[in-house]
């Protein structure tokens, strides 16, 4: 029982601390100004050839964006900007 209390308290403390820390973190202006096409080139190509906008429909890109976020931990901003770019010229 004591073990579970210690573990849970530790997780609770670390999680709350992390959330507070992360929430107060800022990205640089350079990163904030990145466009969707720039983020697409930088992030997709890290593991595989980056598919062009015409490869999938706008509806599919939205699903793929979420799939990639949970598979590779890209940030929410990256997901949104990349998918906006891909949807803007998708089939």
For residue 84, what are the contacts with CB-CB under 8 A and spacing of at least 6? 36
Token code pair at residue 56: 């999938």
- Rounded to the nearest whole angstrom, what is the least distance from the CB of residue 1 to other proteins in the complex? 6
Q: Within a 10 A sphere around the Cβ of 81, how many other Cβ atoms?
A: 21
- Rounded to the nearest whole angstrom, what is the least distance from the CB of residue 37 to other proteins in the complex? 13
Smaller CB distance to other proteins: residue 31 or 89?
31
Smaller CB distance to other proteins: residue 55 or 84?
55
- How would you write 39-88 as a 3-class SS string? HHHHHHCCCCCCCCHHHCCHHHHHHHHHHHHHHHCCCHHHHHHHHHHHHH
- Rounded to the nearest whole angstrom, what is the least distance from the CB of residue 89 to other proteins in the complex? 16
| Positions that interact with other proteins (CB under 8 A) | 1, 4-5, 7-9, 11-12, 15-16, 19, 22-23, 25-28, 30-31, 42-43, 45-52, 55, 59-60, 62-64, 66-67, 69-77
Smaller CB distance to other proteins: residue 8 or 89?
8
């Amino acid at each position: 029982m004591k073990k579970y209390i210690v573990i849970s308290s530790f997780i609770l403390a670390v999680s709350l601390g992390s959330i507070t820390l992360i929430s107060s973190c800022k990205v640089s202006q350079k990163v904030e100004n990145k466009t969707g096409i720039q983020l697409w080139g930088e992030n997709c190509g890290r593991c595989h050839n980056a598919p062009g906008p015409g490869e999938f429909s706008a509806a599919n890109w939205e699903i793929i964006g979420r799939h990639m976020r949970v598979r590779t931990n890209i940030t929410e901003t990256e997901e949104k900007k990349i998918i906006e770019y891909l949807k803007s010229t998708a089939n």
